[in-house]
Amino acid sequence: GMVVIDDPDSILRCTNKIYLAELLRTNRVATPRTVVVRAGGLDELEQTLGYPMVLKVPDGSFSLGVYKVEGRRQLEQVARRMFKDSELLLGQAYTYTPFDWRVGVLDGQALYVCQYFMSSGHWQIYDHGAAGKEGEHRTFAVEESPAPVLETALKAANLIGRGFYGVDLKETPAGVVVIEVNDNPSIDHGVEDQVLGERLYERIMETFMARIEAGKKPALPSK
């Protein structure tokens, strides 16, 4: 009976990247070309995706367990290491953009919109190497954000549930694609709250209160 923002089902749907990829595919939400493989499936990856490609473990987060590979030898080395911890891997076509869009979606509505730029000299937002760097950001008012980005983010998030999600997207020449949907997205002072300020936190608390009040309503008698 405890009120939560992200329910257990939402968490499972977001953290299982194989489930998420299939959910988005079957509901016609655009993503980079994606292939799920077991050990021995590297030829399929190579033939379907080409190089460079991105390999992911099914349950990674915060850009961990994600590797860019640029040739067959590197593919074999990285996959061999990853298969020690997982029976399945996801391969995705590599799509370079100077930044990712992040749309925070709360209870079915866009709450904030950010651009996260790639870390300097790296292909991801976070560089988990020795430097531990992350890229710059820009935050936008929802109403000033590109409609295709918002529409795609909301479609993806609403497939997961009515919780609080961070949808990562890229704008490509072929259109907007969803990279992933994150449960429990980060809110850092001066970043995601840069436009709304305290109003962002008030919106989250209002959602809690509305759910608490909804839980207090007496159940209707069964007929």
pLDDT value of position 220: 46
Per residue in 114-136, pLDDT tens?
Answer: 999 876 555 555 554 545 556 78
Are 82 and 141 found together in one domain?
no
Could you tell me whether strands 99-106 and 109-117 are parallel, antiparallel, or unpaired per DSSP bridges?
Answer: antiparallel
| Integer Cα distance of 139 and 172 in angstroms | 20
Are 50 and 148 found together in one domain?
no
Are 121 and 196 found together in one domain?
yes
Are 9 and 46 found together in one domain?
no
Are 45 and 111 found together in one domain?
no
pLDDT value of position 63: 62
First to last CA, the chain: 24
154: CATH = 3.30.470.20
**Residue 190: both structure tokens together:** 């001066």
Are 203 and 123 found together in one domain?
yes
Is pLDDT of 223 > 50?
A: no
pLDDT value of position 214: 85
**Residue 79: both structure tokens together:** 């996959």
pLDDT value of position 109: 97
Among the candidates 94, 121, 138, a domain finishes at 94
pLDDT value of position 35: 95
Are 150 and 130 found together in one domain?
yes
Are 3 and 57 found together in one domain?
no
pLDDT value of position 7: 86
**Residue 138 CB contacts under 8 Å (≥ 6 apart), including other chains:** 99, 114, 115, 117
Are 70 and 136 found together in one domain?
no
Are 171 and 196 found together in one domain?
yes
3-state secondary structure of 37: strand
pLDDT value of position 105: 98
Are 60 and 142 found together in one domain?
no
Q: Confirm whether 180 is domain-assigned.
A: yes
Among the candidates 73, 94, 115, a domain finishes at 94
181-184 long-range CB contacts below 8 Å, 24 or more apart? 181/13, 181/14, 181/20, 181/156, 181/157, 182/14, 182/61, 183/6, 183/10, 183/11, 183/14, 183/15, 184/5, 184/6, 184/11
Q: Confirm whether 205 is domain-assigned.
A: yes
pLDDT value of position 25: 96
Per residue in 75-124, pLDDT tens?
Answer: 999 999 999 989 999 999 998 898 999 999 999 999 999 999 876 555 55
For the chain, percent of residues with pLDDT exceeding 90 = 73
Choose between 56 and 126: higher pLDDT: 56
| Count of all residues that appear for the chain in the document | 223
Are 131 and 197 found together in one domain?
yes
**Residue 146: both structure tokens together:** 């590109």
Q: Confirm whether 21 is domain-assigned.
A: no
Q: Confirm whether 24 is domain-assigned.
A: no
83: CATH = 3.30.1490.20
Query: Which residue range is the domain that position 49 belongs to?
Result: 33-94
For the chain, percent of residues with pLDDT exceeding 70 = 86
Quote the strand ranges of 49-136, DSSP E: 53-56, 66-69, 89-93, 99-106, 109-117
**Residue the block writes with tokens 């367990």:** 65
pLDDT value of position 221: 44
Shortest CA distance to 158 belongs to which of 53, 46, 10, 35? Answer: 10
Task: Indicate the pLDDT class of residue 60, thresholds 50, 70 and 90.
Answer: low
pLDDT value of position 6: 82
Distances (CA, A) of 46 to 37, 41, 72, 78, 127: 11, 9, 8, 14, 26
Q: Confirm whether 222 is domain-assigned.
A: no
Name 167's bridge partners.
103, 181
Per residue in 1-32, pLDDT tens?
Answer: 678 888 889 999 999 999 999 999 999 999 99
Q: What is the mean pLDDT of residues 153-157?
A: 98
23-29 long-range CB contacts below 8 Å, 24 or more apart? 23/159, 23/160, 24/156, 24/159, 24/178, 27/155, 27/159, 29/152, 29/155, 29/156, 29/159, 29/178
Which amino acid appears at position 16 of this protein? N
Q: Confirm whether 26 is domain-assigned.
A: no
Q: Number of structural domains, the chain?
A: 2
pLDDT value of position 91: 95
Among the candidates 52, 79, 94, a domain finishes at 94
| Integer Cα distance of 29 and 149 in angstroms | 12
